A and B are shown apart, each in its own frame.
Chain A
């Protein structure tokens, strides 16, 4: 007579080792975040929003004519687009990361001190994170 013992896990395929440890939407989010520099993209989007919205309404005692008046809109929009591109096109993370850092630096002189420095620093850190991200390695695992 054999007792009812649990099936040993050895029947699992090798790929089960890399199976997500979560289920449902959390598993999807886990997989999605592993395929792209999500933190760099998120910080870059926040940077663009900060430059656009901080301070609310801006400072208007001195309103400069020309490109300075629309630079917050331009740079904030470009940073938001860069952050979304980091999330949607992660294979271009190198170019997008450097471009994000340059845009954030340019915002200091042209848009309310780069969103009172907060937006600029968010953009620099987000761009550096995007630049430093390494994509998943498509090579199969090697067992030694």
Chain B
């Protein structure tokens, strides 16, 4: 009876003409996978296992990621301070909720204008111009449904006594889907028409003075474009997130 013991230092049981296996490779084959993987480092005898696959060099990853995150931080700070403009664009319509303590301006509205998009469709827009805009206690919020939940973008004036001003605010109203108004004071042309004479005596001919007080607006509109001249927006705070509350 002959017993054969299989071991790493095999020296017999084969004809002498057979190729002699590499002891290191034999060890590699006979060992568990985890042990082989642990030894697969460049320069080791079993490094062939590691070389047939790409790998990530983490120092290069960090060298690119850290400056990028720094740039993101700078972008965020710049956007929050108004140094760089942010574009929000898309085809859908969402309700914008606005509340304010007071608004005064002189407004003018041009008649409906027509424009044609590249696809050949014709649209109608109304251009509204507000001069000498002064707003106190502004809060505007926009609720956008996303796959991760509702996202609320909220713009507020930090204090009611700080005034948001703009010399000239012009926007093109493309569509007005809904308008809900709740307020205590709505005065159109009150100062000039009732006290100081007819409409033609206004300082800005063609413009209608507007004064709103403690006003709440729930509007769904589409603006095609908007421009502002000399806006003072530094008093505004922009916040966004899933846990932000709407204005009302």
Give Cα distance in the complex from A60 to B61, angstroms: 37
Question: When the two chains form their complex, are residues B68 and A105 in contact, meaning their CB atoms are under 8 A apart?
Answer: yes
**Are B51's CB and A137's CB within 8 A?**
yes
Among A15-42, those with CB < 8 Å from B are 16-18, 21, 34-37
How many inter-chain residue pairs (CB < 8 Å) link A and B?
206
A33–chain B nearest beta-carbon distance, Å: 8
Residue A54 at the B interface, CB < 8 A? yes
* Closest partner residue, chain B, to A106 (CB atom): B75
A61:B223 contact, CB within 8 angstroms: yes
> Which A34-65 residues have a C-beta within 8 angstroms of B?
34-37, 53-65
Tell me if A125 and B65 are in contact (CB < 8 A). yes
Known A56-B145, A65-B225, A137-B51; contact A109-B86, beta-carbon cutoff 8 A: yes
B10 touching A124 by the CB < 8 A rule?
A: no
Interface residues on A, range: 35 or more
How many interface residues does B have (CB within 8 Å)?
Answer: 74
Instruction: Flag B62-85 by CB within 8 Å of A: 1 or 0 each.
Output: 001100110110011001000011
9 contacts between A and B (CB under 8 A): A10-B14, A54-B147, A55-B90, A105-B75, A109-B79, A113-B79, A132-B57, A133-B55, A134-B56
Interface residues of A, Cβ cutoff 8 Å to B: 1-3, 5-6, 8-12, 14, 16-18, 21, 34-37, 53-65, 68-69, 71-72, 90, 97-98, 101, 104-105, 108-113, 116, 118, 120-121, 124-125, 127-129, 131-144
Instruction: A59-B142, A141-B51 are known; give 17 further A-B pairs, CB within 8 A.
Output: A3-B3, A8-B6, A18-B48, A54-B147, A55-B145, A57-B92, A59-B92, A60-B90, A63-B222, A63-B225, A108-B75, A129-B56, A132-B64, A134-B56, A136-B54, A137-B51, A141-B48
Which residues of B pack against A, CB within 8 Å?
1-4, 6, 10, 13-14, 18, 21-22, 24-26, 28-30, 33, 36, 42-43, 45-49, 51-61, 64-65, 68-69, 71-72, 75-76, 79, 84-94, 96, 142, 144-148, 151, 153, 174, 221-226, 240
